[in-house]
Copies of this chain bind each other. A is one copy, B any other.
């Protein structure tokens, strides 16, 4: 496990990279124990705090987990879907918000990806996913629901649609696209009329998925994209006028 002194990075970053590479390249396998902090500081010829900083970097990426006590230490962590979701969503959300990504662009990406799932979702949907979709549609029709609640329910609905495709890799990849849109969607004030429109489209999507009619689902999804785009543009226009 060698570090590259040429790079001008911090020692802790170099050490983290060396260990990370070992994990990525399979030289360290899942659940394998890393040397103790004291041993690592000897191996890399640095102090223990420096080693610890390196380990914290890896822990932040869920590449390792640590356990205290005798026979504890740092272990290569099996990256779970849940952890990966979290990482992906955080990164996606910040990427969009920090770079002032256009609502249209984000919207286009999200719906394009989502449409890619519909054929599989229509073919493989099981009662659980349908039940979730129906439940969320019902919630979205409640008059007392806040805008944030409406958006959150929208995300749950669409994630159920994606999950219905029965491909966990696809679900993981789309989690970022769907969830990262939420802050942008939260800027929209949903009137009773727009909620009604969305609920209608959601119902059409759920019906199409239940009927295993991929084409109908895709068409409804495309209409939903168009409608969402309009709502977003209205908000942007109103905002531009106020400033």
Residues of A within 8 A of B (CB): 12-13, 16, 20, 23-24, 26, 30, 49, 52-54, 56-61, 63, 78-81, 84, 87-88, 90-99, 101, 105-106, 108-110, 112-113, 115-117, 120, 167-170, 172-174, 176-177
Interface secondary structure of A, over-half rule: helix
Q: What number of copies of this chain does the assembly contain? A: 2
Residues in chain B near residue A60, CB distance under 8 A: 16, 56-58, 60-61
Q: Is the CB of B117 within 8 A of A112?
A: yes
Q: Is the CB of B170 within 8 A of A173?
A: no
Pick the 3 closest A-B CB pairs, nearest first: A116-B116, A57-B60, A109-B169
- Closest chain-B Cβ to A46's Cβ sits at a distance in Å of 14
Bound Cα distance A130, B84 (Å): 33
Best-buried of A78, A112, A117 by chain B (most CB within 10 Å): A112
Bound Cα distance A59, B13 (Å): 9
- Give me 22 A-to-B residue pairs in the complex whose CB atoms sit less than 8 angstroms apart, sorted by A's number: A23-B94, A24-B94, A26-B97, A49-B49, A52-B53, A56-B57, A57-B60, A79-B94, A84-B95, A88-B91, A88-B176, A92-B172, A95-B169, A95-B172, A108-B167, A109-B173, A110-B169, A112-B167, A112-B170, A113-B116, A113-B170, A115-B116
